[in-house]
Amino acid sequence: MSLTNINVRGYHIDLYGHVNNARYLEFLEEARWELLDKTVDRDKWHRQGIGLSVVNININYRRPAVMGDRLEIKTTLERIGRKSVVLKQVIAKTGDRRLVAEALVTFVIVNMKTLQAIPVSDEIRAELTAING
């Protein structure tokens, strides 16, 4: 599990005075990068010619966030399949812990030369399993 904090700034806000729905995707991506920085050896993956590609995001928006809110994004491993991995991400307001949004993000491991999905190796599975501690 990983926790990432985001301070809602003026440039995150849309015409309606709350965080624009597309910005949440950026918040979730920031949290995933932070998580991967902590758990996988991306340099080794690069040398091996493998990478990650998001193939699906399902997001449910629960309540708006506004300028000045501090958000906490919790990222956990939901499941690992043969070729895909699903992360669960939950965005809540820091302090009152009110749910703002939740998402399931599916990605695949890809061969960077062919851009084709490849099976999740035992070594990658072990690195990703460490996400939940």
pLDDT the model gives residue 70? 97
Give the Cβ contact number of residue 60 at 10 Å: 9
* Two tokens, residue 3: 């926790």
pLDDT the model gives residue 54? 97
pLDDT the model gives residue 1? 82
pLDDT the model gives residue 42? 86
Quote the CA–CA distance of 89 and 29 in Å, as a whole number: 10
pLDDT the model gives residue 101? 97
Query: Tens place of pLDDT for every residue, the chain, 133 residues?
Result: 889 999 999 999 999 999 999 999 999 999 999 998 888 888 999 999 999 999 999 999 999 999 999 999 999 999 999 999 999 999 999 988 899 999 999 999 999 999 999 999 999 999 899 888 7
Q: Is residue 59 within 8 Å of residue 24, measured between CB atoms?
A: yes
pLDDT the model gives residue 110? 96
pLDDT the model gives residue 133? 75
- CATH code of the domain containing 81: 3.10.129.10
Give the Cβ contact number of residue 13 at 10 Å: 18
**Parallel, antiparallel or unpaired: strands 70-80 and 116-117:** unpaired
- Domain extent for 68: 2-132
As annotated, the active-site residues are: 14
* Two tokens, residue 83: 């070729």
| Count of domains forming the chain | 1
Residues 6+ apart with CB under 8 A from 129: 77, 80
pLDDT the model gives residue 106? 98
pLDDT the model gives residue 2? 87
